[in-house]
C-alpha cells in the first residue's frame, strides 16, 4: 500500500530517504517553532534554507530529491517562490535568449526570484492590475511605475527581505496605448549588499494567520518610482516589443502569460493529499488511543474510532486523501503532456488543462482545509493544542483556498469551459474529461438501475450516477443561459448554479480517476480490494453529501439515495480493521507530523504531559507579571471588596 500511495517503488524510496534525512538532522528540528518571535522564526527559516541548499549541492541531490527535501523541511520560505514560480515563469514565457541568460543564474541561485503579480487593489482580476511598464524609445528601456496606492505589489512570497529579482506583471504602454498585462524581469536588490535598488520601496506586509507556519515567509509589498529596466527584460515568448517600439504578438495564445499559474495549481493539487493525509493520520491514530464511555464490567472504555459517528466523519477524509493523491498524480501526467505540447507550439489541450487545474485546485484545497479542521475536532479538546500539530497545519494550509486563484473564481473558469463545450456540442465532439457531455442523450434519459444496497458496489453504476448528475446540471445551466439576451449577464446571474455544476464536474473527475487507477494500475488483489473499499467510500460519501443534486436532477429516487447511505455504513465497518494500516501507508514520520497525538507508537498521554512542561510559562512557578499585576489585587482591599 505504501508503494500504491507513493506511485511506484522508486518514488517511495526517494521520498522515504529524504524524509529520514530531514528527520535525523538536528538542524531541521521544528517542535520549538511555535515559541519563537517573528524575527527569530524568520532567521531560523533562512538558516534551514541555506543548510538545505548546501545539502542539495553537497549530496548532489536530483531535482526530485531536492523537492522532497524541501517538502519535509516543512517551512514555507522564499525558495518555494523561486523554484515553483520564478523559474517556471522564465521557462514558460521567456524567449530562447532570455532562458539562456536567466535560467543558469536562477538554477544556481546566483539570483533569487519571486512572482510579483498581485497588488493591494487586485488579485483575481489580473487584467485590472495597475502597475505600468512604459516603453521609452530613446533609451530602449521600460519605466516601471506604481501610479496609485492600490497598484503596490502586495503578497509576493520572499519579496520583502530576500528576493533579488522578481517577475513583475504590469500593463504595457507604448506611445500612450495599453497593450495588456505582461511579465517583466526586474532586479530588486543589489547583489553586493542586498539593499533595495534606487526607486524601489520594499517591505513585509505583516503577520499572517497562525503563528509558526506562514510567518516564516516574508510576503512583501513593492512600489516603483519610475524604475528603468532594459527592453529585453520583458518576457517575450507571447508578445514582443521591438526597439522601434512596435508591439507584435506571436502565434502563441495570450493565455500562456497565465501559464505559471497553471503549473503551480497542478502542484497544489498534487500537494493537497499530503496535507490531508497528515491530518487524517493524526486523527486516526489518536482515535484508536482515545477511549470514552462504554466500559462493561470494569473493562476498558470504547476506542472513539469505534463510534459510527466518528467513522462517518473520519473515513471519508481518509478516502479523500487517497482520491486526491491519485487525482494529483493523474493531473501531473496531464500537465507534463500539455507542457511538451506547448513547447512544440501545440495549444489544443490548454483550455481543458486550465479547467482541470483550476477546478481541481479549488475542489482539493477546499476539501483539505475543511478536512484538517474536522480532524482537529475529531481529536476533541486536545486537537486544539499546538502540540497536536493540527492548528499549525490548518493555518499553513488554509490560504491555499485563496492563493493561486481564489476557489470560487477558479470554479467560474471551469464553468466557462463547460458552457463553451456545451454550446459547441452540435459540431465539436467533446474529448478528455468532458467526453461524457458527448453522451448527453442517454445521460439525460436513463435513470439509475440500483435496487439493493449491494448494487452500489459497482463502478459502472457509480460512474453513471456522477456523469448523469454533472451532465444534467451543466446542460440545465446551458438551457437557462440561452434565455438571456446578454450571455455575460446570464453568466453572472446564474453563477451560483454554475459553480455547483463545476463542482459536480470536478467530483466526477476525481471519482473516475480513482476507478481508473483501481482498474489499471494497482497490481495484486490485497491492496486493490482494500483500495476498492476506500473508492466506494469516497464516491458514496459524495453522493450522500450532495444527494440534493442527484435527486433534483431526477437521476436517483429517494430510495436509491438511502440505499447508497446504507451501503456507506456497511463500508465503514470494512475500513475499520485496516484504518491504521491505511494511514501508516502514508509513511509519515513523527518529525513530519510534528504531533503528539499522531505519534507512531501511540504513546500519547505521557508525551502530552511532557510537552506541556516545555511551555515557557512552566519555566518557573512564579512568572514575570504575577508580582506586579496579580499580587496587588490580592493584597489591596478595593471598593468592591468592602461591600
Ligand atoms: C500548501 C501546499 C502548497 C504547495 C504549493 C507548492 C508551491 C508553493 C509555491 C507558492 C505558494 C503559494 C504562492 C502563491 C502565489 C500566488 O498566489 S501568485 C498569484 C496568483 N493569482 C491568481 O491566481 C489570479 C487568478 N486570476 C486569473 O487567473 C485570471 O485573471 C482569471 C480569473 C482566469 C481571469 O482572467 P482574464 O479576465 O484575463 O481572462 P478571461 O477573459 O476570463 O479569460 C480569457 C480566456 O483565457 C482563459 N484562461 C484564463 N486563465 C487561463 C490559464 N491560466 N490558462 C489557459 N487559459 C486561461 C479563460 O478561460 C478564457 O477562455 P475563453 O476565452 O475560452 O473563455
Ligand atoms: C499566503 C498567500 C501567499 C500569496 N503569495 C503570492 C505571491 O507569491 N505572488 C502573488 O502575486 N500573489 C500572491 N498571493 C495573492 C493571491 O494570489 C491572491 O490573494 C489571490 O489570487 C486571491 O485574489 P484576491 O486577494 O484579489 O481576492 P478577491 O478576488 O478580492 O476575493 C475576495 C472575494 O471576492 C470573490 N470574487 C472575486 N471575483 C469574483 C468574481 N468574478 N465572481 C464572483 N466572486 C468573485 C471571491 O470569491 C472572494 O470571495 C498570495 C496570497 C496569500 C494568501
Model confidence pLDDT, tens digit, residues 389-424 = 999 999 999 999 999 999 999 999 999 999 999 999
Instruction: Give the domain CATH number at 452.
Output: 1.20.140.10
User: Are 123 and 154 found together in one domain?
Assistant: yes
Question: Last residue of a domain, which of 75, 97, 115?
Answer: 75
Q: Whose CA is nearest to atom 42 of ligand 2?
A: 409
Q: Please give the distance, rounded to the nearest whole angstrom, from the Cα atom of residue 406 to the centre of ligand 2.
A: 5
Nearest alpha-carbon partner for 286 in 319, 308, 316, 310: 310
Q: Please give the distance, rounded to the nearest whole angstrom, from the Cα atom of residue 517 to the centre of ligand 2.
A: 33
Beta carbon of 219 within 6 Å of any ligand 1 atom: no
What pLDDT was estimated at residue 457?
98
What pLDDT was estimated at residue 251?
84
What is the C-alpha to C-alpha distance for residues 163 and 422, in angstroms, rounded to an integer?
45
**Which atom of ligand 1 sits closest to the CA of residue 181?**
38
Q: Which residues are designated catalytic? A: 404
10: Cβ contacts below 8 Å, ≥ 6 apart: none
What pLDDT was estimated at residue 64?
97
Q: Please give the distance, rounded to the nearest whole angstrom, from the Cα atom of residue 256 to the centre of ligand 1.
A: 10
What pLDDT was estimated at residue 252?
85
What is the C-alpha to C-alpha distance for residues 207 and 203, in angstroms, rounded to an integer?
12
Distances (CA, A) of 106 to 189, 200, 284, 489: 15, 22, 42, 45
User: Are 44 and 188 found together in one domain?
Assistant: no
What pLDDT was estimated at residue 33?
86
User: Are 245 and 276 found together in one domain?
Assistant: no
Q: Whose CA is nearest to atom 25 of ligand 2?
A: 123
List helix spans (H) across 192-294.
Answer: 259-289
User: Are 295 and 313 found together in one domain?
Assistant: yes
What pLDDT was estimated at residue 342?
87
Distance of CA 602 to the CA centre of its chain: 29
**Exposed e or buried b for every residue in 26-50, given b needs 16+ CB within 10 A?**
eebebeebbebeeeebbebbeebbe
Beta strand 227-230 with 220-224 is unpaired
Q: Which of 79, 118, 263 to mutate to test the pocket of ligand 2 (most atoms within 8 A of CB)?
A: 118
What is the C-alpha to C-alpha distance for residues 356 and 334, in angstroms, rounded to an integer?
9
User: Are 263 and 245 found together in one domain?
Assistant: no
Residue 405 located in a structural domain = yes
Number of domains in the chain: 3
Residue 284 located in a structural domain = yes
**Exposed e or buried b for every residue in 432-456, given b needs 16+ CB within 10 A?**
ebbebbeebeebeeeebebeebeeb
User: Are 381 and 477 found together in one domain?
Assistant: yes
Question: Last residue of a domain, which of 551, 584, 617?
Answer: 584
* Angle CA 70–216–51, to nearest 5: 45
Residue 487 located in a structural domain = yes
Which residue stretches of the chain have pLDDT < 70? Answer: 638-643
What pLDDT was estimated at residue 345?
86
Distances (CA, A) of 169 to 132, 251, 326: 9, 21, 34
What pLDDT was estimated at residue 35?
86
Residue 601 located in a structural domain = no
Q: Which domain, by its residues, includes 123?
A: 89-250
Ligand nearest to the CA of 82: 1
Ligand nearest to the CA of 219: 2
Question: Last residue of a domain, which of 203, 228, 250?
Answer: 250
**Which atom of ligand 2 sits closest to the CA of residue 122?**
26
Q: Please give the distance, rounded to the nearest whole angstrom, from the Cα atom of residue 413 to the centre of ligand 1.
A: 9
What is the C-alpha to C-alpha distance for residues 26 and 471, in angstroms, rounded to an integer?
54
Query: Which residues have any ligand 2 atom within 6 Å of their CB?
Result: 81, 115-118, 122-124, 155-157, 214, 219, 399, 402-406, 408-409, 412
What pLDDT was estimated at residue 212?
79
Residue 82 located in a structural domain = no
Q: Which of 160, 261, 275 to mutate to test the pocket of ligand 1 (most atoms within 8 A of CB)?
A: 261
List helix spans (H) across 379-483.
Answer: 390-397, 407-423, 440-445, 459-481
Cell triple for 208: 499572517
What pLDDT was estimated at residue 642?
53
Contact status, residue 243 vs residue 231, Cβ threshold 8 Å:
yes
Contact status, residue 45 vs residue 77, Cβ threshold 8 Å:
yes
Amino acid at each position: 500500500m505504501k508503494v500504491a500511495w507513493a506511485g511506484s517503488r522508486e518514488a517511495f524510496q526517494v521520498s522515504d530517504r529524504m524524509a529520514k534525512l530531514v528527520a535525523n538532522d538536528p538542524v531541521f528540528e521544528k517542535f520549538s517553532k511555535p515559541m519563537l518571535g517573528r524575527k527569530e522564526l524568520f532567521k531560523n527559516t533562512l538558516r534551514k534554507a541555506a543548510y538545505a541548499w548546501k545539502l542539495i549541492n553537497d549530496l548532489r541531490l536530483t531535482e526530485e530529491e531536492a523537492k522532497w527535501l524541501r517538502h519535509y523541511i516543512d517551512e514555507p520560505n522564499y525558495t518555494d517562490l523561486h523554484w515553483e514560480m520564478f523559474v517556471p515563469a522564465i521557462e514558460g514565457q521567456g524567449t530562447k535568449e532570455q532562458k539562456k541568460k536567466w535560467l543558469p543564474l536562477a538554477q544556481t541561485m546566483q539570483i533569487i526570484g519571486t512572482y510579483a503579480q498581485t497588488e493591494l487593489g487586485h488579485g483575481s482580476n489580473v487584467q485590472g492590475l495597475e502597475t505600468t511598464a512604459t516603453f521609452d524609445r530613446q533609451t530602449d528601456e521600460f519605466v516601471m511605475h506604481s501610479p496609485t496606492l492600490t497598484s503596490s505589489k502586495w503578497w509576493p512570497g520572499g519579496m520583502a527581505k530576500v528576493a533579488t529579482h522578481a517577475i513583475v506583471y504590469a500593463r504595457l504602454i507604448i506611445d500612450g496605448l495599453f497593450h495588456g498585462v505582461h511579465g517583466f524581469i526586474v532586479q530588486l536588490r543589489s547583489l553586493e549588499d542586498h539593499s533595495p535598488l534606487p526607486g524601489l520601496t520594499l517591505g513585509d506586509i505583516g503577520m499572517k494567520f497562525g503563528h509558526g507556519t506562514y510567518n516564516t515567509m516574508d510576503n512583501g509589498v513593492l512600489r516603483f518610482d519610475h524604475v528603468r529596466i532594459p527592453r529585453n527584460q520583458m518576457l517575450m515568448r507571447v508578445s514582443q516589443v521591438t526597439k522601434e517600439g512596435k508591439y507584435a504578438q506571436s502565434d502563441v495564445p495570450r493565455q500562456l502569460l497565465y501559464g505559471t499559474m497553471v503549473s503551480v495549481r497542478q502542484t497544489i493539487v498534487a500537494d493537497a493529499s499530503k496535507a490531508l493525509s497528515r491530518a487524517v493520520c493524526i486523527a486516526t491514530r489518536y482515535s484508536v488511543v482515545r477511549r470514552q464511555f462504554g466500559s462493561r464490567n470494569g473493562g476498558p472504555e470504547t476506542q472513539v474510532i469505534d463510534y459510527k459517528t466518528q467513522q462517518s466523519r473520519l473515513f471519508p477524509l481518509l478516502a479523500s486523501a487517497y482520491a486526491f493523491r491519485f487525482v494529483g498524480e493523474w493531473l501531473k501526467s496531464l500537465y507534463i503532456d500539455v507542457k511538451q505540447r506547448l513547447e512544440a507550439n501545440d495549444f489544443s489541450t490548454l483550455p481543458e488543462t486550465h479547467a482541470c487545474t483550476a477546478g481541481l485546485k479549488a475542489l482539493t484545497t477546499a476539501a483539505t482545509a475543511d478536512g484538517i479542521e474536522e480532524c482537529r475536532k475529531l481529536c476533541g479538546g486536545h486537537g486544539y493544542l499546538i502540540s497536536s500539530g493540527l492548528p499549525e497545519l490548518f493555518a499553513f494550509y488554509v490560504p491555499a483556498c485563496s492563493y493561486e486563484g481564489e476557489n470560487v473564481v477558479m470554479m467560474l473558469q471551469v464553468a466557462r469551459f463547460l458552457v463553451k463545450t456545451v454550446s459547441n456540442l452540435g459540431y465539436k465532439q467533446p474529448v478528455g474529461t468532458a467526453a461524457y457531455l458527448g453522451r448527453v442523450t442517454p445521460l439525460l434519459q436513463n435513470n439509475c438501475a440500483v435496487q439493493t444496497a449491494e448494487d452500489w458496489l459497482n463502478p459502472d453504476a457509480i460512474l453513471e450516477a456522477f456523469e448523469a448528475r454533472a451532465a444534467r446540471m451543466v446542460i440545465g445551466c446551458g438551457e437557462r443561459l440561452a434565455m438571456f439576451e446578454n450571455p455575460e449577464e446570464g453568466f453572472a446571474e446564474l453563477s451560483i448554479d454554475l459553480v455547483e455544476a463545476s463542482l459536480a464536474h470536478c467530483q466526477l473527475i476525481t471519482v473516475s480517476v480513482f476507478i481508473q487507477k483501481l482498474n489499471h494500475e494497482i497490481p495484486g488483489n490485497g491492496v486493490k480490494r482494500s483500495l476498492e473499499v476506500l473508492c466506494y467510500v469516497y464516491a458514496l460519501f459524495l453522493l450522500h453529501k450532495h444527494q440534493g443534486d442527484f435527486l433534483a436532477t431526477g437521476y436517483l429516487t429517494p430510495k436509491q439515495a438511502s440505499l447508497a447511505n446504507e451501503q456507506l455504513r456497511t463500508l465503514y465497518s470494512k475500513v475499520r480493521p485496516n484504518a491504521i494500516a491505511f494511514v501508516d501507508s502514508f509513511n509519515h514520520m513523527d518529525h513530519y507530523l510534528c504531533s503528539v497525538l499522531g505519534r507512531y507508537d501511540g504513546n500519547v498521554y505521557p508525551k502530552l504531559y511532557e510537552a506541556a512542561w516545555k511551555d515557557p510559562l512552566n519555566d518557573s512557578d512564579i512568572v514575570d507579571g504575577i508580582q506586579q499585576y496579580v499580587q496587588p489585587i490580592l493584597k489591596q482591599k478595593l471598593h468592591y471588596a468592602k461591600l
